[in-house]
Structure 1
Amino acid sequence: MSKEPRIVRANIFAFPPNRDTLGGTAYLIVEKDGNVLIDTPPSTPETQDFLERQGGVRSLFITHRDSIGNATQFQKRSGCQLIIQEQEAYLLPEAQVTSFQQEIQISSQIQGIWTPGHTPGSACLYYPQQGGILFTGRHLLPNPKGQVVPLRTAKTFHWRRQLRSVAQLRDRFSPETLSLICPGASTGFLRGQRAVEGAYHQLATLDLEAYEAAPALL
C-alpha cells in the first residue's frame, strides 16, 4: 500500500519517492491561487485521491528531465499547466507545454528559476512564504551528513555551470528570504527532517571553488 504524502509545512506536502523518476521526491504547494506540483509523484490511485482532496493541481513544474515521469499522462488526466525550462521542452512532444528561458512567474507567490548544470534545463522553484522555501530538484541535494550540496555525477551536464548556478542563488537570496530547501531526491539523508533548515546559511558557506575539482560519483 502506498504511503500518504508527508506534511513539510502547513500547506506543503512531500510525496513518497517515485520509481519512475529515479526515486525522486515530488512536492505539492496548496495555495489559494491554485495548487502547484513540483515534479511528478508516484502514479497511484492514492496519489490521485490525495490531490483531489487538496483541490486538484493547477500547475506542474518540472525541475529537470529525469523528473518528468508520467507528466504527459498527468496533464491529460488533470488538465494542469505543464511548465518546463525551454531546453528540455522537446522531451514532452505530446504535452501542451509552457516553457521559459530565465524565470517564470507561476503565480503571485511562486517563481521558477533556471539553474542549469545538473541538466541543461535544470530549474528551481521559489516560494517566498514562511521565510522563503526553495525546491531544488537535483540541483542541490543533502549529503550523508544532511548538508545541502551540489552533487557531481556521471550524468552531470556541465559541472562548472552548475556551480555558477549555485553562486547565483546564493547572491539572489539572504537569511531573510531563504529559510528552507526542499530537495528533489536523497531525502533519506535528512534523518527524519522534512526539509533542510537554515538553508541560506548552508548555501552561503559552501566552498564552491573547492567543489570545482570534485570527482564525479557513479
Structure 2
Amino acid sequence: MNQGTFAYLSLSSIKAGVRAREFFLEQPNSITLHPIVTLPLDSVIPEDPKTLSNKQPRIVLAGEAACAIYAFPPNRHTLGATAYLIVENQVRILVDCPAWDEGTQTFLEQQGPIDWLFITHRGGIGQIQALQQALGCKVLIQEQEAYLLPGITPESFQQDYSLSLASQVIWTPGHSPGSSCLYLMEYGGVLFTGRHLLPDPQGQPTPLRTAKTFHWPRQIRSVRYLLEQFTPETLNFICPGANTGFLRGQRAIDQAYDRLAQLDLVTCLRTQPLL
C-alpha cells in the first residue's frame, strides 16, 4: 500500500484501520443548514445511448493549472454515471469507466498513454476488461472491492494511495464498502466523489441514501471526515460521478467546501432509504 501524503491532507496522522474512521458527529455550528434530499440512483436519466457515442468528452477545468480535466458523456453500462480524465504533466488518470467505443478509444489515444484507471466504487466498473486491455493502464480500487475484477490484477489500497504528487485517493466507505474519492490539488482543490456525493436538484452536493446503500451511518461519517480534512482554501470543486444533469450546464460544483459545510448531517442520519 502506498502511504504517500501531501501538504493539504493530514492522512498520515490518522491511525490505520477501520477504528480510526469511527468518529462521532458533533452538533453543527450555528450556520444555515440544508436538509438532505434523497433521490434514486438513476434519477437523472442518461441521454439516448445511440447518441452518446457521437459526443466527445467536454472540458471541465483547464488553463489555470498544469493539468486539464475532461468529463465523458453518461455511460449506460454504469447506470448513467460520469467518468473523468485528468491530464497532468507526467500522469494521466481515468476516474471510473467511460463507455468503451471507437470514439472514446480515439480520444484517449490522442491524450497520450493512460497511466491509471481509478474505480471510485463497484458501480463504476463498466466495461473495464476491454478498456484495460486496450489501454494497458494500471487499475486501482479499494481492497474490499478488488474481487469484483476477475481477469484483472489491480493495485489495491486500504486507507489512501498517491497516484502523483498532486493526486491522492481517499477511502470514504458507506455508499459501498470500497467507495473512495480522488483529491486533486490543482484549481484550489478538486474532489472526484463517484457516488459518495451527488448533486441534488438544486445542484448542492449531498450523500444519497437508497435501498442499495451499503452503510448509511458510515457514509455520513465519511462526509464528516472529508470536512475535517479540508478547508475552503483546499476544496474548491467537486466533480460528481452521476446526476450531472442537475448542475444545469455547470461543469463542476464550485465553492465545494462551503456547500458541504451547510449539510445538516445529524438530520441526514434519520433519512429513510428510497426503494
TM-score normalised per structure 2: 0.78
Q: After the TM superposition, which segments of 4 or more aligned residues of structure 1 sit over 2 Å from their partners?
A: none
User: Of residues 249, 253, 256 in structure 2, which corresponds to 1:192?
Assistant: 249
Find the residue that maps to 1:28 and give its secondary structure: strand
Q: Percent identity?
A: 60
Paired residue for 1:40?
Answer: 97
Partners of 2:173 and 2:112 lie apart in 1 by: 32
2:60 pairs with 1:3: no
Find the residue that maps to 2:217 and give its secondary structure: helix
Partners of 1:110 and 1:201 lie apart in 2 by: 21
Partners of 1:153 and 1:33 lie apart in 2 by: 39
User: Of residues 127, 134, 140 in structure 1, which corresponds to 2:184?
Assistant: 127
Structure 1 unaligned segments of length 5 or more: list them.
none
Partners of 2:251 and 2:274 lie apart in 1 by: 25
Partners of 1:7 and 1:74 lie apart in 2 by: 21
Instruction: Map 1:110-189; keep pairs closer than 5 Å.
Output: 110-189=167-246
Find the residue that maps to 1:216 and give its secondary structure: coil
User: Of residues 107, 111, 114 in structure 2, which corresponds to 1:54?
Assistant: 111
Paired residue for 1:16?
Answer: 73
- How far residue 108 of structure 1 moved from its aligned partner, in angstroms, is 1.2
Partners of 1:16 and 1:73 lie apart in 2 by: 18
Partners of 2:120 and 2:251 lie apart in 1 by: 19
Q: Deviations over 1:49-73 (max 9, x none)?
A: 1111111311000000011011122
Partners of 2:154 and 2:214 lie apart in 1 by: 23
Q: Deviations over 1:124-154 (max 9, x none)?
A: 0000111000000000000011111000011
Aligned length: 218
Partners of 1:77 and 1:4 lie apart in 2 by: 19
Instruction: Map 1:74-85; keep pairs closer than 5 Å.
Output: 74-85=131-142
- How far residue 33 of structure 1 moved from its aligned partner, in angstroms, is 1.7
Tell me the amino acid that sits aligned with residue 169 of structure 1: L
Find the residue that maps to 1:130 and give its secondary structure: helix
Find the residue that maps to 2:103 and give its secondary structure: helix
Partners of 2:77 and 2:211 lie apart in 1 by: 20
Alignment RMSD: 0.8
Partners of 1:42 and 1:64 lie apart in 2 by: 16
Whose radius of gyration is greater, 1 or 2? 2
Partners of 2:264 and 2:134 lie apart in 1 by: 44
TM-score normalised per structure 1: 0.98
- How far residue 76 of structure 1 moved from its aligned partner, in angstroms, is 1.3
Tell me the amino acid that sits aligned with residue 4 of structure 1: Q
**8 Å contact from structure 2 (residues 140, 155) kept in 1:** yes
Partners of 2:74 and 2:182 lie apart in 1 by: 19
Deviates most, 46-55 or 178-187 = 46-55
- Per chain length, whose mean CA-contact separation is higher, i.e. which structure has more relative contact order (CA < 8 Å, sep 6+)? 2
Paired residue for 1:106?
Answer: 163
Q: Deviations over 1:6-63 (max 9, x none)?
A: 1000110000000011110000000112100000001110101111111131100000
Find the residue that maps to 2:60 and give its secondary structure: strand
Partners of 1:87 and 1:99 lie apart in 2 by: 9
Partners of 2:211 and 2:259 lie apart in 1 by: 25
Tell me the amino acid that sits aligned with residue 139 of structure 1: H
- How far residue 107 of structure 1 moved from its aligned partner, in angstroms, is 1.1
